[in-house]
Structure 1
């Protein structure tokens, strides 16, 4: 599949390497230009390009950028064919993204993103920590393989994303519509808790919408106190233990 990935942060970087290693034709871009993309990131076959080129002649686009930059790329996304699957991996963190009033008032994050882009999207890879995504991938059929939720309104998007999730070493769980994707937002029991496929359904069902922001902010406060800032990511073991204690 021809895939364009925007963003070379913690999640984007792993998706570039894993999907290109799986045989997909991957183009990657960041906000600083192709010359700033590390050679290691291209070691499994991906190409570093400009944002415009990354969005040209592709079947799927993965947005791995902070939520507060979604509006910046909206005009470019608007030019894509409706046949292209657009996948958002972002999460809302007020300390990083500034306050987005509709989300603060309860709008589902994925629906806000779809509204800004003016087109259907899918939501995936937002509910796994970057360290777990990078190190805990396993072949299909492994009994302890981590599963992640996938939300989409269009069946064609759902099929594409679930295939790509499998290609990144994870099981894909059909979490339903974008309207229900609040169940995989920060603070929910399924968020960054490294569950197996058999465990995800009950975790999604247990989510309590009104409690998500408080649980999200509590996790951030503990990480900032432990790690010293708001940008360093915890390792896959300590981070998972923390969010399980808070969210489950």
Structure 2
């Protein structure tokens, strides 16, 4: 039987990863907070075997689960159903959206470590969140392709990271292990590793509206494993917490 991967959260990024997984031959189980009936159209769009169910049922259906929710919805995750499952964390903490958390604002921990605290019996692996959803789909390449990009991976469990790396390999990306969940800040929102490297070189002198448009409609860039390591090694925990367009592309005043 084809391997099964479950999704809790079906926003743009979750849908994109589900599409890549279905095209790679995985059985896909989708879920969200609004009920399986709201996912009928998405299920119909996916190739192969796809179905929609509740988050708890989705968690029970597969060993590998992608969590792609707004960070503030983390408390809704079915911890008991997820016990023993490897969880791919694609979430980012955005204070303006999620409400301020002192532990994160003061950089005393990482969002993935908080997720691990919420799901103590599930090995957490943070990855597949360094690209925007548009390039996540268009940038996927088969093994050995000269324009195949790499993505950073962090986690505390070596076996779980190896499992996730195999999944990533299948859907079109190389995995670069850059450390534990304590290191996951190195590819969080607002860090240079996040989003920007996968976007082509922007023109000079853009205003804020043009910069925003470039993020969503500009060309893609290939990011090698060595470049991922270089960027994550050089990362510092400075600046604002979260992602702001003006931090991606400083514009002329």
TM-score w.r.t. length of structure 1? 0.82
Cα distance, 1:48 vs. partner?
1.2
The superposition leaves residues 188-218 of structure 1 with CA deviations (integer Å, 9 ceiling, x where unpaired) of: 22111222223111000110112352xx454
Q: Which residue among 162, 166, 181 is the counterpart of 1:159?
A: 162
The superposition leaves residues 44-100 of structure 1 with CA deviations (integer Å, 9 ceiling, x where unpaired) of: 132111222211131111101011000111xx2233342x21111000111111112
Change (3 A) 1:117 1:142: same
Partners of 1:153 and 1:180 lie apart in 2 by 10
CA RMSD of aligned residues (A): 1.8
Change (3 A) 1:217 1:170: closer
Contact between 1:3 and 1:27, CA under 8 Å: does it hold in 2? yes
Q: Give the corresponding residue for 2:190.
A: 187
Q: Give the corresponding residue for 1:49.
A: 53
Note if 1:4 corresponds to 2:32.
no
Runs of 4+ displaced beyond 6 Å:
none
Note if 1:89 corresponds to 2:90.
yes
Q: Give the corresponding residue for 1:230.
A: none
Aligned pairs (5 A) from 1:1-248: 1-42=3-44, 43-45=46-48, 46-73=50-77, 76-82=78-84, 84-106=85-107, 107-119=109-121, 120-192=123-195, 193-194=197-198, 195-211=223-239, 213=241, 216-219=242-245, 222=246, 243=248, 245=249
TM-score w.r.t. length of structure 2? 0.80
Partners of 1:40 and 1:58 lie apart in 2 by 19
SS of residue in 2 equivalent to 1:140: coil
Cα distance, 1:146 vs. partner?
1.8
SS of residue in 1 equivalent to 2:161: helix
Q: Give the corresponding residue for 2:210.
A: none
Q: Give the corresponding residue for 1:235.
A: none
SS of residue in 1 equivalent to 2:82: coil
Contact between 1:71 and 1:117, CA under 8 Å: does it hold in 2? no
Partners of 1:28 and 1:196 lie apart in 2 by 31
Structure showing greater radius of gyration is 2
Structure 2: segments with no counterpart, 5+ residues: 199-222
Partners of 1:211 and 1:205 lie apart in 2 by 17
Change (3 A) 1:218 1:36: closer
Contact between 1:103 and 1:112, CA under 8 Å: does it hold in 2? no
Length, aligned pairs only: 219
Contact between 1:110 and 1:181, CA under 8 Å: does it hold in 2? yes
Partners of 2:178 and 2:13 lie apart in 1 by 20
Cα distance, 1:34 vs. partner?
1.1
- Higher helix residue share: 1
